[in-house]
């Protein structure tokens, strides 16, 4: 778990340095748990999603990067790659097993946030 926490903290610092690279994407790490992230993505221009802001939740497993993050749209969206009832990315669902609530709760226990503090 320590290695994945260190890698996530490093990746978070890189994102903070490169914020201006894409102003249409905002990535926010939970201050109390580095394994939980939120993203705000502006809809691309000249698409049906233009003008929209979409919120996503990321649950990152302790085995990261060996296991991919679970991604869930918090904003309702109609898209062929997003399951319409549970808002999970279909690609993520196909690539890995779902994280159940007990696993998510286990991730929050003793997990340092983005400040790097335990």
**pLDDT for 60-79, tens place per residue?**
999 999 999 998 888 887 76
Does 55 fall in a domain? Answer: yes
Query: How many domains does the chain contain in total?
Result: 1
* Domain range for 66: 2-108
Residue 23: which residues within 8 A CB-CB, separation 6 or more? Answer: none
pLDDT value of position 110: 42
pLDDT value of position 37: 94
CATH of the domain at 31: 3.10.110.10
Cα 104 to its chain centre, rounded Å, is 13
Does 116 fall in a domain? Answer: no
Contact 47, 74 (CB under 8 A): no
pLDDT value of position 85: 62
Could you tell me the two tokens for 47? 């698409």
- Residue 28 burial (CB count, 10 A): 15
3-class secondary structure, 68: coil
């Amino acid at each position: 778990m320590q290695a994945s926490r260190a890698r996530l903290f490093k990746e978070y610092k890189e994102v903070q340095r490169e914020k201006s690279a894409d102003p249409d994407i905002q990535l926010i790490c939970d201050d109390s748990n580095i394994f939980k992230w939120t993203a705000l993505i502006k809809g691309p221009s000249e698409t049906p999603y233009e003008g929209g802001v979409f919120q996503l939740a990321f649950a990152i497993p302790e085995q990261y990067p060996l296991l991919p993050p679970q991604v869930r749209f918090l904003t309702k969206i109609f898209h062929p790659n997003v399951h319409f009832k549970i808002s999970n990315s279909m690609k993520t669902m196909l690539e890995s097993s779902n994280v159940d609530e007990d696993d998510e709760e286990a991730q929050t226990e003793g997990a340092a946030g983005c400040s790097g503090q335990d």
